[in-house]
């Protein structure tokens, strides 16, 4: 997949685009648990009857821009373990300060009939049903991508982009013809010399292709590699008012490369994969380094601590589509002659904010984002209040906004 560099301070802006004027209204609010009033993260907020949507940030907040030509009467709000909520919009006008209360789903029966009597058979059947449960057409996804790097608790890099992702039909689980294209992006980097760390790790905006585990069979769900894992059932949960099997897995063999552990959520009726939470097995540090590190300076010691992923899918009209991807990576770095090491956290997330299934141009190879490109090198530092205009994004958290202000002052 693409590369994520920490931190290459030279930039070469490669994009320029004329934006069409779009009239829209904005709905903003916060999503909370009705029982304990806790703010909820990664909640899906979408416009029924359209492909428009986003997710809440770590503070539970969301903002959704909706074209005023659309016939919209409300928002649909869904989250794992909760009953869906519907927000009524009486007028096609901007609304702010909404509070959406979500009710935890009642406990489901623990004793359920497992397909084929084994969790592995359930996973196998879900993989076999991918051509039926997912789109059999090419799709063009509009996505918002954010990438942050923290040194300790301090942000030293913030990058954001709107990307187009061209995805071929799920009847072919190869990603060879899938492409992403940068439409608009911006970045802020710490100007402190001590924050410059020329390390390249696997990641970046191409995750719309490579971390789509349903489409990309080499990412996780490969029938031939199921023998490498043990599977067992956990209690079922509710998602979109439907019961989900929860299958946990872990490595059962020792290979030349690192495997994963985690859990997969499978719709009880359709046997579609709706969600996956998984992490890289860190028992063997050398294998873990080989899995994520692309390049580092001579003399720098790279010590991975955690690499975790979240991938979700959303159903519409009987088919499931990629919805959200999150990747968190924690590691330490030190120089051989220095006493102390520094801890880094790299967080990247991508949400699909719109989708086209017909009448769209393919992304030419010459304009697509290449695997060997570094995201920081293809966006500039332009940063203002109206930068995204009509594009939908994941709202920045309060702490991220404070970090943006500090980095902007540094770069003046």
For residue 412, what pLDDT is reported?
Answer: 64
For residue 296, what pLDDT is reported?
Answer: 87
For residue 341, what pLDDT is reported?
Answer: 81
Segment among 202-206, 327-331, 355-359 with least mean pLDDT: 202-206
For residue 18, what pLDDT is reported?
Answer: 43
Per DSSP bridges, beta strands 53-55 and 154-167 are unpaired
State the Cα angle at 246 between 102 and 258, rounded to 5°: 120
Percent of the chain with pLDDT over 70: 92
Confidence of residue 108 (pLDDT cuts 50, 70, 90): low
Comparing C-alpha atoms, which of 350, 346, 310, 348 is closest to residue 329?
346
For residue 204, what pLDDT is reported?
Answer: 83
For residue 71, what pLDDT is reported?
Answer: 86
For residue 191, what pLDDT is reported?
Answer: 84
What's the token pair of residue 100? 């959406």
Comparing C-alpha atoms, which of 341, 349, 1, 340 is closest to residue 200?
1
Q: Which helix (H) or strand (E) holds 297?
A: none
Count of CA atoms in the C-beta half-sphere (13 A) of 168: 10
Q: Which residues contact 123 (CB under 8 A, 6 or more apart)?
A: 221, 226, 231, 247, 249, 264, 266
Structural domain spans, the chain: 3-9+109-410
Provide the total of helices (H) and of strands (E) in the chain, helices listed first. 5, 20
Comparing C-alpha atoms, which of 144, 24, 40, 170 is closest to residue 94?
24
Q: Which residues contact 224 (CB under 8 A, 6 or more apart)?
A: none
Note the pLDDT tens digit of each residue in 114-163.
766 799 999 999 999 999 999 999 999 999 999 999 999 999 999 999 99
For residue 3, what pLDDT is reported?
Answer: 47
pLDDT over 50 at 9, yes or no? no
Average pLDDT over residues 55-65: 97
Percent of the chain with pLDDT over 90: 70
Give the global pTM.
0.92
The Cα–Cα gap between 142 and 145 comes to 10
Provide the greatest CA pair distance for the chain.
Answer: 65
């Amino acid at each position: 997949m693409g590369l994520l560099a920490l931190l290459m301070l030279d930039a070469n802006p490669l994009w320029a685009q004329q934006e069409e004027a779009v009239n829209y209204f904005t709905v903003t609010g916060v999503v909370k648990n009705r029982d304990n009033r806790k703010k909820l993260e990664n909640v899906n907020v979408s416009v029924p009857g359209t492909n428009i949507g986003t997710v809440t940030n770590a503070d539970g907040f969301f903002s959704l821009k909706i074209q005023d030509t659309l016939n919209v009467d409300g928002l649909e709000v869904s989250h794992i373990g909760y009953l869906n909520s519907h927000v009524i919009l009486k007028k096609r006008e901007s609304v702010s300060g909404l509070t959406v209360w979500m009710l935890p789903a009642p406990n489901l029966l623990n004793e359920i009939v497992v397909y084929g009597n084994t969790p592995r058979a359930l996973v196998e059947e879900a993989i076999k049903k991918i051509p039926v449960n997912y789109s059999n057409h090419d799709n063009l996804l509009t996505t918002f991508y954010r990438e942050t790097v923290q040194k300790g608790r301090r942000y030293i890099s913030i990058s954001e982009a709107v990307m187009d992702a061209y995805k071929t039909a799920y009847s072919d689980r190869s990603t060879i013809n899938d492409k992403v294209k940068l439409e608009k992006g911006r970045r802020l980097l710490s100007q402190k010399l001590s924050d410059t760390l020329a390390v390249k790790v696997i990641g970046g905006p191409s995750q719309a292709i490579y971390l789509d585990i349903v489409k990309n069979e080499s990412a996780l769900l490969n029938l031939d590699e199921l023998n490498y894992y043990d599977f067992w059932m956990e209690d079922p949960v509710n998602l979109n008012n439907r019961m989900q099997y929860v299958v946990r897995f872990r490595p059962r063999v020792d290979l030349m490369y690192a495997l994963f552990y985690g859990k997969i959520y499978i719709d009880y009726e359709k046997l579609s994969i709706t969600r996956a939470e998984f992490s890289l097995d860190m028992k063997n540090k050398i294998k873990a380094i080989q899995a994520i590190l692309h390049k580092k300076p001579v003399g720098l010691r790279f010590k991975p601590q955690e690499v975790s992923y979240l991938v979700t899918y959303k159903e519409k009209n009987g088919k499931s589509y990629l919805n959200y991807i999150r990747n968190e990576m924690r590691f330490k770095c030190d120089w051989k002659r220095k006493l102390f090491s520094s801890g880094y956290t790299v967080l990247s997330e991508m949400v699909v904010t719109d989708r086209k299934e017909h009448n769209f141009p393919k992304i030419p190879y010459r304009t697509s984002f290449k695997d060997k490109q570094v995201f920081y090198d293809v966006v500039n530092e332009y940063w203002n209040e109206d930068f995204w205009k009509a594009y939908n994004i994941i709202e920045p958290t309060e702490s991220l906004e404070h970090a943006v202000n500090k980095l902007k002052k540094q770069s003046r």
